Structures are given as C-alpha cells and as structure tokens.
Amino acid sequence: MSAVYLLAIDQGTTSSRAIVFARDGSIVGSAQREFRQHFPAEAWVEHDADEIWQVTLAVCREALTDAGVAATDIAGCGITNQRETTVIWDRATGRPVHRAIVWQDRRTADWCREHGGDEREGWLQARTGLLLDPYFSATKIRWLLDNVDGVRQRAEAGELAFGTIDTWLLWQLTNGREHATDASNASRTLLFNIHSQDWDDELLAFFGVPRALLPEVHDNAADFGTIDADHLGAAIPVGGMVGDQQGALVGQACFEPGMVKSTYGTGCFLVLNLGREAVTSRHRLLTTVGYRLNGETTYALEGSIFVAGAAIQWLRDALHLIEQAPETQAMAESIDGTDGVYLVPAFTGLGAPYWDPEARGAIFGLTRDTGIKQIVRAALESTCYQTRDLVEAIGDDAVTPTELRVDGGMVANDWVCHCLADVLQMPVARPAVIETTALGAAYLAGLQAGVYDSLEEIGALWRAQQTFAPQREAAAMQGLYDGWLEAVRRVRSE
Ligand SMILES: Nc1ncnc2c1ncn2[C@@H]1O[C@H](COP(=O)(O)OP(=O)(O)O)[C@@H](O)[C@H]1O
Ligand SMILES: O=P(O)(O)OC[C@H](O)CO
C-alpha cells in the first residue's frame, strides 16, 4: 500500500502556502508565494482574488513536486485562510465584481460608529460573539453592495456569490460546483448566529445582506467536494476547512477546555478552547467557533494584538536599529533589563482588551544611558506584556490557562519564549512542527478521510520541541508588568 499524505492550503494575508504532510504530521514538501497588496486609499487594503487563486494553485503544484508525491497519493486536502476578507463574484462567470476587501481594511469605520451604541453592540455580541467593527465581513459586503454598480440588484437576483477566501478557493478548485464555508469562518462574518449555528435573518436584515449571496456552512471536517482533476493531475477530496487562527488551535492540539495557543506573526492571536460554552467576554474578547465536528461546536475566546513581529519590522525598516529580526535575541540577552524603558507599539491603536483605535505608540523612560539594546529589548518585551494583558482578561472571563502553546515566526526567538514564560509565570511550549495552521487544516482533512479516527489520536501526535519554564521571580515580574500597565495608561486616548 502506498503512503498516505495530506495537502494543506494556507492562504494568508501576504502569501499563499501549500504543504504536504505525512500521516504523523511531519512536513514532506512545501511551497510559498507572495502576492500584491493594494492600498487604494488611507486605511483601505485590497487583494486581487484572481491573483490569490493563481498563486494558490501554483503553490499546490509546487508543493506536490517538492514532496515528490503524486496527487493520487493525497488522501485529502484541507484549506485554511486569512479570515474575514470578503469576495463577491458572479456565479455564471466566476469573475469577482471587485477586488477583495481585506480584514485590515477600515473603510466602514464611519458606518460602524453611526450604527453602534451599547444596546446594538450588546445585541450583536449576544448573537455573534463579535463587536461592531470594520474587521468583520458584514460591513465589507454592505460596502460592495452599496458602492459597486449593479451589485445589489444582481445579488438580490441570486446572480452573485459571497465568500471569505476559503469559499472563494473552494469555488475555483471545484470549478464552481461548491459554494460552501465552515463554521469557524462563518463565525467571523457578523452574519452567523453562533448559538443556532446558522445565518441569522435579523443580522442579515440589519446589515442589508441578501441571503442569496451566502454559502452553505459545513462542519470543519466535512465533504466540501472534490478538486477538479485538471488542477492538480487527479481529483482530490476537500475534507477540511478552517479559519487560520482556529486552524492553529487544532494544529496545536488544544482540544481540552482551558488549553490555549498563541500565534506570533505580524500580529498576535491568542485563542482559548472554551469547550461547549460560548462564554461572553467582559473584556471585549471575541467569542468564536473554535471548531465544529459531527455537528458539535467547540467554542473559543480570542484576543488579538495588532503589533507583535511588526514592532521588530519597525525597528529594522523605520529605525534601522537592526538588520535582521534574529539579531534581537542576542541584543536582549546581552543586558539584564531595559532600565525602565517601555515601548508601547500602538502604531494603529490598541487591540484586545483595550480596543482603542485612537491610541498611538510611545517609548517611555529614556535616559542618557538608554541605547539600542534597551529599545530592542523593550520591543520584544511589549509582545510578552500584551500577551499577559490577554491572559489576565481570559482569566477573568473564563479560565486561567496552565500552559501556553506558541507558534509563528517570532517564537523562533528563544529569548522571547523565556520572557513570555517569566511575564506569564507559566510554562511556554514550542511545538516540533511550527506550521501549526496548515497542520490543523491537514488534520481536519485527515479526520474526514479516515486517516485519523479521533481528536485523541491527533492530540497524541503533538510534540513539544522545547518547553520554557519561568525563571525570574513572580514579584519582580509583577513590578515590571505594573510599569507596562502605567505606560499603556499614558498612551490611551480616553
Ligand atoms: N528571531 C526573531 N525574533 C523576533 N522576531 C522575529 C524573529 N523572526 C521573525 N520575527 C518576526 O516574526 C514575523 C514573521 O512571522 P510570520 O509567522 O512569518 O508572520 P506572518 O505570517 O504574519 O507574515 C515578522 O514580523 C518578524 O519581524
Ligand atoms: O493571514 P494572517 O496569518 O495574518 O491571519 C489573519 C487573520 O486570520 C485575520 O483575522
């Protein structure tokens, strides 16, 4: 019998990746390509959905070649994606009516402000677990319906389809046969009721979105159709679909309530498994679908920090204090502390749990002795302090985790992992397979294909590459964290 492989498509904000995994979760081959970012106006961000499809198809082919695996040896494909990003296309031609509006795009901020208010926000949070914010898909769809010629009429006539990027790729991969999404992606639109697990007519009426636009919503491991043989050389079933942060929750095998993962890329997304209970946050964290399997929903609480690795990019590209991100490790290690220097990277406001779009970044505590190393270390520390802000909030809303599973480009930095363990006063585990998002999608496809029988079987495959235990004293860390809270207080707009 030939070996069994799984193909994961990871369609991110700046690049598409495809990875071929073996049954044990090891990587056999991969490929990655970046695509163009479009910034047509201040705070607007768009992607060309056709370009996304083309680069994604290309990396799938390249990954199979890199792995030396034929499409016929792939038991199933899983798709994971940048979430919320919105595409509307013509069902007859498969052509988008406009460029995709990306999750980062803020063009609907005024609409959100005008239609918000405590009562309305409470109503939305109770149904969707989310906030009224341009981040989510609903107001992006509305903008397309209101601003692109003929789109509202064509949508109402059933001629058009809406999808997040998972749905768009599935449509293309199946040559227009499948118009479907999964519960985790649907739960990021503001149109999906996370309790009834269905599109919600009252939400659709509020945002003015015709139901005819919407895809079917499946479990995360389900029959999503089959990739047409002309794309990859043989028909491949699509058995898994999941938003990327929930994909990492699965890839990190956080299957028990109270388990939490945190992904450190450009920003940072921390996701806690809530089990069957859709806890409502008092700290403006998001209640979302972690995953839905066999019709049973596991909920999750999510906190997002806008700037994590992006602060390191800023040190490199704007301040020219470093040439490469990995240099920051030795610089931080070479001093005992920042001598009271704090860097609050609120470049685009503050995310969870503050949600203060008007706040701006600052560096505090500068003296004649402050040098590059102190500023670099303060930038790394800011990511750890912001993680503690989120952990404190989820502890108050739900449960304080006992361990943090981390992934993403920034945790290649050992010093960051040590610092996280110290600031959180809890062990920080870095897994052997760092591509957790794609791995999660592959696992879901493997569940559907019968490669795995259960989440327990998948959980047993998870291995820590290294676990970092707290080394510095709790009292000293509390003192440093108090200094951070004071620095945040000083940058806030209210
Ligand atoms: N050794 C390192 N130390 C600190 N930051 C790092 C290191 N390596 C990468 N980074 C940061 O991690 C980010 C890249 O991580 P990645 O997971 O690829 O992000 P994304 O998927 O958001 O593009 C960059 O912002 C970079 O500055
Ligand atoms: O593509 P990423 O990794 O930046 O993730 C984007 C998130 O899904 C947005 O919610």
pLDDT attached to residue 30: 97
Q: How confident is the model at residue 182 (pLDDT cuts 50, 70, 90)?
A: very high
Q: How far is the CA of 83 from the centre of ligand 2 (A)?
A: 6
User: Residue 2's closest CA among 67, 74, 60, 62?
Assistant: 74
Q: Residue 409: CB within 6 Å of ligand 1?
A: yes
Task: Label each residue of 88-114 as H, E or C.
Answer: EEECCCCCECCCEECCCCCCCHHHHHH
Query: What are 388-434's pLDDT values in tens digits?
Result: 999 999 999 999 999 999 999 899 999 999 999 999 999 999 999 98
Has the ipTM of the complex gone over 0.95?
yes
- Could you tell me the pLDDT band of residue 444, with boundaries at 50, 70 and 90? very high
Q: What is the pLDDT of residue 352?
A: 86
Interval 341-390: pLDDT, tens: 999 999 888 888 998 878 899 999 999 999 999 999 999 999 999 999 99
Q: Please tell me the pTM assigned to this model.
A: 0.94
Our answer on whether the CB atom of 325 is closer than 6 Å to any ligand 1 atom is yes
284 pLDDT above the threshold of 80: yes
Percent of the chain at pLDDT > 90 equals 91
pLDDT in tens, 82-91: 999 999 999 9
| 408 CA distance to ligand 1 middle (Å) | 7
The two beta strands, 342-344 and 100-101, are unpaired
Which atom of ligand 2 is nearest to 13's Cα?
A: 1
**What mean pLDDT is predicted for residues 145-151?**
96
Q: What is the mean pLDDT of the chain?
A: 95
Question: So what's the pLDDT on residue 223?
Answer: 98
State in Å, rounded, how far the first CA of the chain is from the last one.
65
Report whether residue 478 contacts ligand 1, using a CB cutoff of 6 Å: no
- pLDDT tens digits, one per residue of 32-80: 999 999 999 988 999 999 999 999 999 999 999 999 999 999 999 999 9
- The full set of domain ranges for the chain reads 5-244
Quick one: tokens of 386? 């912001």
Q: Which CATH class is domain 5-244?
A: alpha beta
Give the CA count within 13 Å in the CB-facing half-sphere of 319: 16
pLDDT of residue 19: 98
- Centroid of ligand 2 to alpha carbon of 423 (angstroms): 25
The pLDDT of residue 2 is 57
Residue 458 predicted with pLDDT over 90:
yes
Smallest CA-to-CA distance from 30 within 39, 21, 22, 38 is with 21
Name the β-bridge partners of 429.
405, 467
Give the pLDDT band of residue 1 (cuts 50, 70, 90).
Answer: very low
For residue 218, pLDDT beyond 50: yes
Give mean pLDDT, residues 264-281.
94
User: Residues within the annotated binding site for sn-glycerol 3-phosphate?
Assistant: 13, 83-84, 135, 244
Lowest-pLDDT choice from 65-69, 164-168, 263-267: 263-267
